[in-house]
Amino acid sequence: MRGEVKSQLLGLTVLFLSLGGIGLTRAENSTHLQQLRQTNQCPNCDLSGVNLSQAQLRGVNLTGSNLTGADFSNADLENSDLRGANLTGVNFNGTILSGVRLDSTTQIDRKWRIVWEIVSQGARGRDISGADLSHAYLQNVNFSGANLAESNLTQAELTNCNLNSADLSRATLTDTNLNRANLTNANLKGANLRNANLQGADLSATDLRDADLRGADLTRADLRMDSVWGYTRLHGANLDGVNVCDAMMDDGLKVELNCR
């Protein structure tokens, strides 16, 4: 009997010690979060699992910090310093990563390291076929001549991107923002562009054969022929519900179809 009581007491002691440790960790996490918010600097901090969605963190110093599982979705991290930080499992959906400093010791999921490389160095002529770039913030990136065949760009931000002559064949671009993107002579054959935003995009001489454009918005898009590359090819494309209001066609006339 005494042995059983002693064993139970020992178990309770271990449980209380464990709970105490968790409480201490949470307190430390809260303190570090407060420091970050007040100073925009928190090197070597424990910010694992924190929610910093939509936060304005330009120029933040988080070198060496533990940020595992943190949520930075739609946050602005431009010019921040994340060298040596642990970014494993971090949510970077829609996050601005331009000017961010990483190094070889920064632990970050492969997807987001590739996104960071693209934002930092551009992707002109680069082979990133089959890559997962979904939900990535890639505004103004130069993808001219890049191989993006069969890549996943679902809900990616590609406003003002240069995709001239890029290979996007069979790529997934559902709900992708391609507002004012340059897609001249791009290969979008068989691509999924359902509900994509192509307002003001330059699609002259683009190959859209067998592409799925259902629900896409082509308002003020340029679909005219190009003197060098030829005609925009739409054979087999699914245009159900497509908005081509004021789009420019081969004869220079503006089209009003499904205007919303």
The percentage of the chain sitting over the pLDDT mark of 70, rounded to a whole number, equals 75
Distance (Å, rounded) from C-alpha 170 to C-alpha 191? Answer: 4
| DSSP three-state, residue 10 | helix
Q: What is the pLDDT of residue 232?
A: 63
Q: H or E stretch including 117?
A: helix 110-121
| 142-196 tens-digit pLDDT | 999 999 999 999 999 999 999 999 999 999 999 999 999 999 999 999 999 999 9
Residue spans of the domains in the chain: they are 2-112
Q: Comparing 5-9, 112-116, 191-195, 241-245, which segment has the lowest mean pLDDT?
A: 5-9
Higher-scoring residue by pLDDT: 243, 216: 216
Residue 33 has pLDDT above 70, yes or no: yes
| Count of residues in the chain | 260
Average pLDDT, the chain: 84
CA 220, 136, 193 angle in degrees (round to 5)? 40
Q: How many C-beta atoms lie closer than 10 Å to residue 243's C-beta? A: 22
Distance (Å, rounded) from C-alpha 115 to C-alpha 138? Answer: 8
What share of residues in the chain are helix, strand, coil (percent, to 5)?
20, 15, 65
Distance (Å, rounded) from C-alpha 131 to C-alpha 63? Answer: 28
Q: What is the pLDDT of residue 244?
A: 61
Residue 12 has pLDDT above 60, yes or no: no
Say what the pTM is: 0.81
Q: What is the pLDDT of residue 10?
A: 41
Q: Which of 217, 170, 163 is nearest to 192 (CA)?
A: 170
Distance (Å, rounded) from C-alpha 136 to C-alpha 89? Answer: 15
* Among the four given CATH numbers 2.90.10.10, 2.160.20.80, 3.40.50.2000, 1.10.8.50, the one describing domain 2-112: 2.160.20.80
Distance (Å, rounded) from C-alpha 172 to C-alpha 189? Answer: 11
pLDDT band for position 243 (cuts 50, 70, 90)? low
Of the CA atoms within 13 Å of residue 17, those in its CB half-sphere come to 6
Q: What is the pLDDT of residue 209?
A: 87
Tokens of 194: 């359902």
Q: What is the pLDDT of residue 72?
A: 97
The phi, psi pair for 127, rounded to 5°, reads: -95, 105
Dihedral in degrees, nearest 10, Cα atoms 35, 37, 38, 41: 60
Q: What number is the average pLDDT over the span 33-47?
A: 94
Q: Which of 224, 198, 193, 225 is nearest to 211 (CA)?
A: 193
